[in-house]
Structure 1
Amino acid sequence: MARVTAPSGARWDVHRDVAPILQRIVNEAEQRGYRFHKGPRDVPDDWGYSNRPIRGTRVPSNHSWGLAIDIDAQDYPQGQRRKVPPAWLIDLFRAYRWEWGGGWSYADPMHFEFSGTRNDARRMVAMMTATPPPYTPPPTPAPSPLPIRSQIAVGAQGRLVEIAQWELAVISGAQFTGEVGVYLGRVRDAVANLGKILGKPWDGTIIGPDQWAAIDFLYLSKGHQPVTS
C-alpha cells in the first residue's frame, strides 16, 4: 500500500499502482476549489484500504485490494441519491478510470474505485510521469548566396536594368514610370538616395558590385529571393 495525502490533509491508503493516479486527482480537485478535509472541525471520513467484504456479502470489497476509496462519508452517505459530490468531481475521477458508486442500484455516492487493470494503472502512471524529449529546433538554413551581377551604368538597357528597378521599387518604393528597362534619371536618383541611407558616397551613375550587394541584400531582407532571370 501507499499513502495519498491531499493538500488539505485528507489521507487514503491505496494500492501502490494506483496511488500516483489518485494523487493526481486529489491535487487537481483541490486546485479547482474542492476540499476533502474541511478544517479542524471536520471528522476523518475519507477512507481507503480496508480488508472487508462488500456490505451484505462475503465478497471482498475493492477496499480490500486498495483499489477503492470513500470521500467525505458524512456528506455523501450510502443509500441515497440526493447528497452527491459535484458533477465535475465525478467526471474528474472518471477521466482517470475511477468508477463512482452513486449510480449503483444501492447508491454509494461517497465511493470511487479504479475500474482498470493493473497494467492499465501502470500505463497511465507511465504516461503521467513521462518527460517529453527536449525540443530541438531545426537547423537554420544557410542564407542564399547573393547573385554575381555585371556592372551597369547610366544609359544601359536590358534585363539587368529591369532587375535593378524591380528590386529598388520593393526596397525603397521608387517608381520608374516611362523608364522601364532603361538606366536613366530615376534609377540614378534611387541608387544615390540608397547610398545616402547607407552612408555610401554613391552618385547613382553606376550599379557595381557594392551597389548590387546592397540592393540584393535589402531585397532578400524583405523576404524575397533576389531576382536572377
Structure 2
Amino acid sequence: MPPRSDYLPRPAGIAVNNAQARGWGTGWPKCQKGRMAVVVRAGVKVFVRKEIAPLVATLLEATEKRYGYDVKSGQTWGYACRAIRGSQKPSNHSWGLAIDINSRTNPMSATFKSDMPPGMVAMWWNCGFYWGGWYRTRPDAMHFEYVGRPGDVSRHLAAARKHLSGPATKATGRGEFSGPPLRLTRPPTRGDRVTWVQERLNVKGAAPKLATDGVWGPKTDAALRAFQKRAHLVVDGIYGPRTHAALAA
C-alpha cells in the first residue's frame, strides 16, 4: 500500500461538511431523498444527488479504466440519511454528496491506510471531491465528498470526462509513479519518462512551452519547479511520487 507521503498534500483552506452553506439545501435530519439518483457503474450501484450523478458515474469509470483500481460492490456506497458518527452534525452522505469506496482496504482509523493509487485521488480532487485520507485526526481514506457548489458541477464533469478519455495517463501507461526520481543532472537524463513529464508540464501551463525532446535540461527543471510552486508542493525540482500524482491529474 502506498505511504501517505505518496499522495497529494492536503489542500489548504477547504471547509468540509458544510453543504448547506454551499447551496445544497438541508441535510440530516431533513434529508432530500427525492433528489437522489442511482448510479450503476464500475460494477457497483450507489445513490447520490441527481446533480452530481453523471460526475460520479464518470469518475467511477475512470477509476477502473485509467487507474486499474477495482471498485468493489458491498464496500462502496453513497447516500445515507444520517449524522456524522458520534455527533449531531449532518454527514455529507445525507445530502448525497459523498461516496465511500472500498471500505475494507481504506478504513477510517487512527492510522492512515489506503490501497488507492495516488493518481486516482488526485483525479477525484481535480473534479471537486475532497478526500477523507486528508483528515488530520482519523483518516477516512474510503471517503470522497463533493465540496463544490451546484454551479460548479458542469465544470467538474468536463474535467472528469477528460480524465476518462484523455491520452495522458492511459496512453503512457503511467497511472502510477515508477522510479527512479528525475532531476537536473550532468549529463542530462534522457528518455520517454522525461518526454512524458515535459508533455504534462505543457498541459499544466508551462510558459514558455517546453520542447518535448526527452532531454531533462535547465528549461525542464525551471518549468517543473514553477509547477511545484503552483501546486503547493515542495519546490525541489525532483519528479517523484507526489509531483507525478499532480502532473497525472
TM-score scaled by structure 1? 0.50
TM-score scaled by structure 2? 0.46
Structure with the greater relative contact order (CA < 8 A, sep ≥ 6): 1 or 2? 2
Q: Highest Rg: 1 or 2?
A: 1
